[in-house]
Amino acid sequence: MRRISIALIAALALCACATAPRNPLAKWVPSDNFDARRPVVIVLHFTEQDSVQQSLDTLRSRNSGGRVSSHYLVGDDGRIYQLVSDQDRAWHAGAGSWGAITDLNSASIGIEIDNDGHEPYTEAQIAALLRLLDDLTTRLRIPKSQVIGHSDLAPTRKVDPGPHFPWKRLADAGYGRWPQDTASAPPPGFDGWAAMAAFGYPLADRAAALRAFRMRFRGRDDGAALTPELDAEDLRILHALTQGP
């Protein structure tokens, strides 16, 4: 009996390991040379809710509007909560793309920041976020430059983390891409839209992409009705972001 139960446990353990659907088109000849898939980008959100408790409820339940989650939630007091293991795919990004990354949930760590969308972020919160970014980029070997906002990958649908988010401060700490002040002026004929696409923005709706770009790099929200025309400052920033390698 004991032997049988041990065999059973062993079988269960194997099953748990092999949730791996094997492809019926192929003969299975396992190799030991693999790892768990690691995330390669970090996506920042605001909760657009009033309290951490409300967000914890939303991110850990079946919502009427569909189930959502994030790996982390940062309270306005600087407390950090983890809701989903780093190795798992949380449901925070939704439809969108960032360059060649077309399934952001699969490729990312999602961080929700407790903020109603209209208020400044607290000092304790940003300090905690910077500590978390340091931990994640070190432990998961995510390049420090690979930190983006939800609105960057889904400009037609999302505006978070919004124009109040201190991207410059993150950049000063080494996170996210930021234009060098020393970059030369763009040459005549510089194609800013191509630069925006090369940088990662989806351009199906140029006005939406430009709105997201300006929130991120200029701290301003021009609203949904802005004219999709790049001004001199947009071009300067885009050139600086895409200069060199």
Partner 1 sequence: MRRLIGLALVAWMLAACASIPQGQRSALAEWKPSPNHGLRKPSVIVLHYTVEDTLEGSRDILSDAERKHPVSSHYLLDRDGRLLQLVPDHLAAWHAGAGRWGSLDDLNQASIGIEIVNTGSEPFPDVQIDALIALLRDLTQRHGISPQQVIGHADLAPGRKIDPGRWFPWKNLADAGFGLWPRGELVDPPPGFDPWMAMRVIGYSIDNPRAALHSFRLHFRGIDDGDRGVAAGAGAADPSAARPALDPEDLRLLYALTR
CB of 162: closest distance to partner 1 in angstroms?
A: 22
Q: What is the DSSP string of 186-213?
A: PPTT--HHHHHHHHT---SSHHHHHHHH
Q: Does position 235 bind partner 1 by CB under 8 A?
A: no
State yes or no: residue 79 binds partner 1 (CB under 8 A): yes
For partner 1, give the closer residue by CB, 88 or 220.
88
Cβ distance to partner 1 smaller for residue 189 or 223: 189
H-run or E-run covering 41:
strand 41-46
From 38-46, 117-125, 216-224, 226-234, span contacting partner 1 (CB under 8 A):
38-46
Residue number with CB closer to partner 1 (19 or 225):
19
Q: Contact between 39 and partner 1 (CB under 8 A)?
A: yes
Applying CB under 8 A, does 84 fall inside the site for partner 1? yes
CB of 148 to partner 1, least distance (A): 9
As to burial, measured by CB atoms within 10 angstroms (0-12 exposed, 13-18 middle, 19+ buried), residue 40 is middle
> Which of 1, 19, 181, 232 forms a contact with partner 1 (CB under 8 A)?
19
| CB nearer to partner 1: pick between 11 and 224 | 11
Q: Which amino acid is at 43?
A: V
- Cis check: omega of the bond before 228, within 30 degrees of 0: no
Q: Which of positions 115-174 make contact with partner 1 (CB under 8 A)?
A: 128, 131-132, 135-136, 139-141, 143, 146
Q: How far is the CB of 190 from partner 1 (least distance, A)?
A: 7
Per CB under 8 A, does 38 bind partner 1?
Answer: yes
Residue 242 Cα distances to 17, 42, 100, 184, 198, angstroms: 43, 20, 16, 12, 8
Is 112 catalytic? The answer is yes
Tell me which stretch binds partner 1 (CB under 8 A): 55-63, 114-122, 161-169, 229-237: 55-63
Instruction: Tell me which long-range contacts 104-107 makes (C-beta under 8 A, separation of at least 24).
Output: 104/41, 104/43, 104/153, 106/37, 107/39, 107/40, 107/41
Among 87, 169, 204, 229, binds partner 1 (CB under 8 A): 87
Contact pick of 43, 107, 209, 210 for partner 1 (by CB under 8 A): 107
Kindly state the helix (H) or strand (E) to which residue 111 belongs, with its residue range: strand 108-113
Using the rule CB under 8 A, is 80 a contact of partner 1? yes
Residue 79's alpha-carbon distances to 50, 53, 73, 178, in angstroms, are 15, 12, 8, 27
Q: How far apart are CA 221 and CA 211, in angstroms?
A: 6
DSSP annotation of 16:
H
Give the catalytic positions in this structure. 112
